[in-house]
Structure 1
Amino acid sequence: MATQSIRVRPRWQKLLAAFTLLVVVLVAAFALLVAFFPWDTLREPLNRFVSEKTGRKFEITRQLDVDLGWKAATVTFDGIEFANPDWARDPYLVKAERASFEIRLWPLLDKQVVIPRLALSAPTVGLQMEADGRRTWAFGKDTSDTGTVPTIGLIQVDKGAVDFLAKHLGVDVHADLDYDSTRGELPLHYRIKGRYKGQPLTADGRTGDVLQINAAGAPPFPLEINAAAGQTKLKASGTVAQLAGFDGIDAKFQVKGQTLSALYPLTGVVLPQTPPYALSGGLRKRGKLWEAAGLNGRLGLSDIGGDMSFDQAEKVPRLSGMLRSRVMDMDDLGPLIGLPPTARSANAVEGVAPVASAQPKRPPGGKVLPTTPFDFGRLHAMNADVSYTAERIRNVREVPLDRGSVKIKLTDGVLSLDPLDLGVASGKLVGAVRIDAGKTPTDIRVSMDVRGLKLARLIPKLESSGNSVGQLDGRINLSGAGNSVASWLGGASGDMAVLSGRGQFGNLMPVFATLVGGDILKFLLRGDRDVELRCAALAFDVNKGVMSGRTLVLDTTNAVFTATGQANLATETLDFVIRPEPKSASILSLRTPLVVSGTFGAPKGGVEVGPLAGRGLAALALGAINPLLALAATIETGPGENADCTGVLAVANRPTAGVAARGAAKAKGARQP
């Protein structure tokens, strides 16, 4: 048994040794074949094969070389011309003096082209994509996303040019590239010219020597850019991890332009009309989330700061954040309601050309309500949840706004400003605005409460004279449809009221209003004195743009003023009659109803001719008998009586049933429960 076993082992050892030797010889032969294979002999067959498979001309013009490995191969083309499809504008997808790339072998079995690295020498590249999905860099014959699209990691370019056209995206740009190793970490310089989103685009900057199209795990590469698209200018520097999805951004930026709304076609972010702006901050992008941190800059004459984020991962992109202003200037509010910025605001940002319509002159008597239409259709492009606070509002137009805050929400085309809180004249204006862009024309509802406004602060002359008046309270509840401030107000319905209780003020203003000559003489001889305000109410029913006076009463210790009439918000016309009733006997009174007419842009004031003429004729007749008797025609016996303030305020607080009441109730629905 032992002897027989010793005889078998050498035989198996010989077989194993022979097999091992055969494998080694075959591997060595294959290695020698690969190492010394004349790859260039495959150049013409390869040219024909690629041309047939892609349906366009492919040619390695001088020499082909391959360094074959187990997992990947490094292929070098000395001279390459790869044509574009016949529908493309540029004749070549790529034409270069030299191209070298690494290609993964195993993914080829699954018809996937993975190129971890690509180096091009003096290339011209023509990239184009169409709305139907066709792309010049898709290798399938249909040149769509269903064709073979290579996955490219790193790209190295020494110099060359790239054209990119996508008409449906509004993109048509040309870039010139120049490589210089003496530029340190940013040796590749680029210059871009063309159009982006329908606006002229120019840009230049530098990058690292390797562009990371889609290279996982590679370190970020540095990037600098100085660009201008239309009136929008951008400077940024930082790093980008991947160019394919423009991902992994960490950068500092500065952007300025004529209005933030112009960023919508460039970025897809819906922002309001503003005066010229300049902003800086930090920008990050991770996946579909953009973050702008530490924002700081100006909107016209106002400062602005805060943090914002824009999430594109959801079905409808979402903007969120918190913004604040230490000082907000009222001149910057005009564009929000359709007015151009003032000359002060339009010229407040250095390096931004002022808006052409920044200093329009309204013709005498022209309409004053803003007619500029809002692009409410943009409200469907995204959702939003943004808070804004102004710590102080500069009193520029003699309206004493102190501070303000607003919560802005946009959901499925419905924009709400709720709560909206403004500090006005030591009081508050609080409420909500709701804009539903899902309806045509746009449904707009405004519900605001006026709380504790000091009349002395609303009328600077009273404040400077040291006189004081009781506080004002009131409300605005209006609803209607329109695409501008003017069109909305011209058809709005609801309720408007301003109410005041007791207070006091100098008697100069009511004296002139009532034309009580005797009181004027007493004022001139004795100086000013205080007159008590018993109550005041200005309340309107608004019916499809027509403001009809429901209660128009001002009751003081020396006179009662009652008024009737209306203001038409559509035609911007005024038609009021004010009837003063002095409460004490007075000499030299020419008491007669006052008429307020004209337009919002050119109001007119006067007296009713009939009553005044009657008093004048009586004075002339008596004067013919005795000049002293002429004074009898101007003696006012004081028929005015105290108003029932409780009843006046109660009536003012209730809109008349009907269209006005329904409009007011609808407007109140703008507020959160």
Structure 2
Amino acid sequence: MATNVLHNRPLWLKLLAAFVLLLAALAVLLAFFPWDTLRGPVNRYVSEKTGRKFEITRRLDVGIGLRGATVKADGIEFANPSWARDPYLVKAERAEIDIRLWPLITQKVVIPRLTLSSPTLGLQLEPDGRRTWALGKDTSDPGTVPVIGLIQVDGGAVDFLARHLGVDLHADVSYDTSRGTLPLSYRIKGRYKGQPLSAEGRTGDVLQLRAAGQPPFPLEIDAAAGHTRLKASGTVTDFAGLDGIEAKFDLKGQTLGALFPLLGIALPETSPYALSGDLRKRGKLWEVAGLKGRLGLSDIAGDMRFDKAGQVPHLAGELRSRVMDMDDLGPLIGLPPTERSAKAVEGVAPPPTITQVKRRAGGKVLPTAPLDFERLRAMNADVKYTAQRIQNVREIPLDRGGVQVKLNNGVLTLDPLDLGVGGGKLAGAIRIDGAKNPADIRASLDLRGVQLARLFPKLETTGNSVGRLDGRINLSGAGSSVANWLGGASGDVAVISGRGQFGNLLPVFATLVGGDIIKFLLRGDRNVELRCAALAFDVDKGLMTGRTLVLDTTNAVFYATGQANLAAETLDFVIRPEPKSKNILSLRTPLVVGGTFGSPSGGVKVAPLAGRGLAALALGTVNPLLALAATIETGPGQDSDCKGVLSDANRPTAGAAAKGAARAKGARQR
């Protein structure tokens, strides 16, 4: 009867039962199969397919599942290609490899998990794309690179070489379960981007190269590359692409400009810095939130974003300082930091300072540091910066500052640029077209409402109501540094002032009117009215020629002529004071201002002064009292036409100066 029931069952059920029995038999066969007998054939097969020696040295075992297999090798050696520096790609005491079976049909190797015991790894990348970890005979074919999910090791060493990238690193790894969630420690030595690198830290025992859906991988690092020091702790979800980063960091160094070769972010040269914040990476977007720290003597805070998704990376953000120190601005224009700024950050070796740099030949002082055109073209940017207060301003009474920095296809613009100066402001734009070499540089700046008393603190202490200054700078030209740009720039520079008052002492000494000095000493300080003043220059290829140089007060008019050579950095001016009243004991004679920007000199013209001296000597031989007659000033000075003076100062002369000024104004946003 049982036989009849079996015969009466459907055919499909009989086939299913046979299939199950076959699988059971196959499972038993695989479970007890002497896999080690295939060690030799496997060694020969892999060696032939890859073109290099592969050997499981002691024992082979395999576990088969529905989706994959687990290969256990007791002793494994896999040679590198002949062109590699290290003899082995991998050499380990033991290896356990999970392999997906179905991708093998299309000759793809997918390894969800790789466990190595005491391995040594030799990784090398060449400029033509060859890499030692490609498994085909053509090691430049990315299709032969295995996809690895998790790597687990218990110690060992790794070498990585990429000469064309300036990378040559050696890492030693050790494993200790007593370290809790970070049992794997590492030490790295070598060179990165051409700079000496050392690093140490701890990680979890499973390195997630590509492991979607896995918990974050913990990581700590303390690294130094050159003079840059990084400490960070956090998690990574995809180590191969450095994705899913959540970390806190502390970063120190001599200048932010040194990060360009390390990270590819084109930041300006700065004073030594110490920064901290929260770092996050998702895909191609890097974000820093809660950034805070110091740049030299200045505090800095804000948020930044660096997006590498586009064809050209883009940096954006907003930065602010409660207090910005003037000593920290030098590196931005090619000057080394001052001694104060260089030593402001603890734990950072101070760079060469301005006091340690020898003065250039001829006493020149304009910065000659070349613009880095490669950096200008390396990325685009849009960053806003504001400083609530500026300190240590010395001769320039800056109060506050703000600027929006944009970099687009090699063109750098500072627009708007807004600085509080002496109760007024300096505002405008600067444009540097780094797509050209030398760069096309244009500066258009306006000075408005600056208080004279703030420029000359000694006047401010008198309590006098002093005049206000207005002015402008419109310069354009080509250059690769501040010095050679100014040395060839053309345009217009002017400073003008209307009525005001200032203490008597300054004009008295400037006019050398001896009688007024005596009256000042006898009567005390009196106010002298400033009628008007104008200092205006036509600039033609670095030569600043005064077109209107006039200072008109109630007791004297000063007229000046001359030039300042921005290329040679020399001064050549003659100032002629013309007192407006008759005064005794006057030695009125033209004053000469010469020398260099770094070492100016002043004096009086000898001939007129000598003539008066000889006259006094001759008259003195007749009667000593007559000698005073030679010092009596007849007062030929007349009030200047202030309206005409200011009008002339406001108009650059036609020609190169006018054309250069017009080009400079084109730097501003329209």
Q: Equivalent residue for 1:162?
A: 158
* Pairwise CA distance, 1:395: 2.9
The offset of 1:376, in angstroms, is 2.5
Q: How far did 1:357 drift?
A: 4.1
State the distance in 2 between where 1:534 and 1:333 align.
Answer: 36
Q: Deviations over 1:70-102 (max 9, x none)?
A: 111111011000000000011000000000011
Q: What are the residue-to-residue correspondences of 1:56-205 with 2, within 5 Å?
A: 56-205=52-201
Equivalent residue number for residue 447 of structure 1: 444
Partner of 1:586: 583
Aligned partner of 2:21 among 14, 22, 25: 25
My pick for the range that moved more, 411-420 or 147-156, is 147-156
- Report the secondary structure of 2:487's partner residue: helix
2:233 aligned with 1:247: no
Correspondent of 2:661 among 660, 664, 670: 664
Structure 1 stretches of 5 or more lacking a match?
1-6
C-alpha distance 18-491 of structure 1, shift in aligned 2 (>3 A): closer
Matched to 2:36, the amino acid is D
Q: Is the 8 A contact 2:174 2:185 kept in 1?
A: yes
With 613-622 and 485-494 compared, the bigger mean Cα shift is at 613-622
Question: How far off its partner does 1:464 sit?
Answer: 2.5
Asked if 1 retains the 8 angstrom alpha-carbon contact of 2:336 and 2:352, the reply is: no
State how far apart, in whole Å, the 2-side matches of 1:237 and 1:372 are.
37
- Unmatched segments (≥5 aa) in structure 2: none
CA distance in 2, matches of 1:360, 1:397: 20
- What SS class does the counterpart of residue 33 from structure 1 fall into? helix
> Secondary structure of the equivalent of 2:130?
coil
Q: For residue 4 of structure 1, what is the aligned residue in structure 2?
A: none
State the match for 2:482 in structure 1.
485
Answering whether residue 523 of structure 2 is matched by residue 526 of structure 1, we say yes
1:343 equivalent in structure 2: 339
Q: Deviations over 1:442-486 (max 9, x none)?
A: 111100000000111111221233334210001000011111111
State the 4+ residue runs in structure 1 displaced beyond 4 angstroms.
Answer: 7-12, 14-18, 361-365
Say if 2:284 is the partner of 1:294. Answer: no
For 1:89-488, list aligned pairs within 5 A. 89-360=85-356, 362-363=358-359, 366-488=363-485
Q: Which of residues 512, 522, 525 in structure 1 aligns to 2:509?
A: 512
**1:147 deviation in Å?**
4.0
Cα distance change of structure 1 residues 200 and 10 upon mapping to structure 2, 3 Å threshold? closer
Aligned equivalents of 2:504, 2:451: Cα separation in 1: 18
Q: How many residues align?
A: 667
| Structure 2 CA distance for partners of 1:110 and 1:553, relative to 1, 3 Å | same
Post-superposition shift, 1:13?
A: 2.5
Residue aligned with 2:644, SS? helix
Looking at structure 1, the residues matched to 436 and 540 of structure 2 have their Cα atoms a distance apart, in angstroms, of: 21
> Could you say what secondary structure the match of 1:48 adopts?
helix
Instruction: Quote how far apart the aligned CAs of 1:309 are.
Output: 0.6
Q: 1:620 to 1:472 in 2, by over 3 A?
A: same
Percent identity over paired residues: 75
- Identify the residue that residue 539 of structure 1 maps to in structure 2: 536
Offset, 1:668: 0.5
Q: Distance in 2 between matches of 1:195 and 1:497?
A: 52
Question: Is 442-451 or 631-640 further displaced after alignment?
Answer: 631-640
> TM-score, normalised on structure 2?
0.98
- Show CA shifts across 1:617-651 (max 9, x none): 11122222222111111111211111100000000
> Do 1:139 and 1:147's aligned partners in 2 also have CA atoms closer than 8 Å?
no
What code does the residue aligned with 2:257 have? Answer: S
Q: Does the Cα contact within 8 Å between 2:398 and 2:420 map onto a contact in 1?
A: yes
Distance in 2 between residues matched to 1:613 and 1:95, nearest whole Å: 94
Shift of 1:31: 1.5
Say if 2:598 is the partner of 1:601: yes
- What amino acid is aligned across from residue 71 of structure 1 in structure 2? R
Supply the distance in 1 between the matched residues of 2:468 and 2:141 (Cα, whole angstroms).
Answer: 68
**Aligned mate of 2:622, from 608, 620, 625:** 625
Change in CA separation of 1:19 and 1:406 when aligned onto 2, cut-off 3 Å: closer
> Structure 1 residue 514: deviation in Å?
1.1
Report the secondary structure of 1:326's partner residue: strand
Q: Are 2:47 and 1:51 aligned?
A: yes
Task: State the match for 1:36 in structure 2.
Answer: 32
The separation in 1 between residues aligned to 2:305 and 2:346, in whole angstroms, is 27
Q: In structure 2, what residue type is equivalent to 1:201?
A: L
Kept after mapping to 1: 8 A contact 2:108/2:143:
no
The answer to whether the 8 A contact 1:141-1:147 is kept is no
Quick check: 1:270–1:379 contact (8 Å CA) kept in 2? yes
Q: Which amino acid aligns with 2:57?
A: T
Which amino acid counterpart does residue 512 of structure 1 have in structure 2?
F
CA contact (8 A) 1:332 1:341 kept: yes
CA contact (8 A) 1:260 1:274 kept: yes
Q: Which moved more, 1:127-136 or 1:7-16?
A: 7-16
Cα RMSD (Å): 1.5
**Partners of 1:462 and 1:468 within 8 A in 2:** no
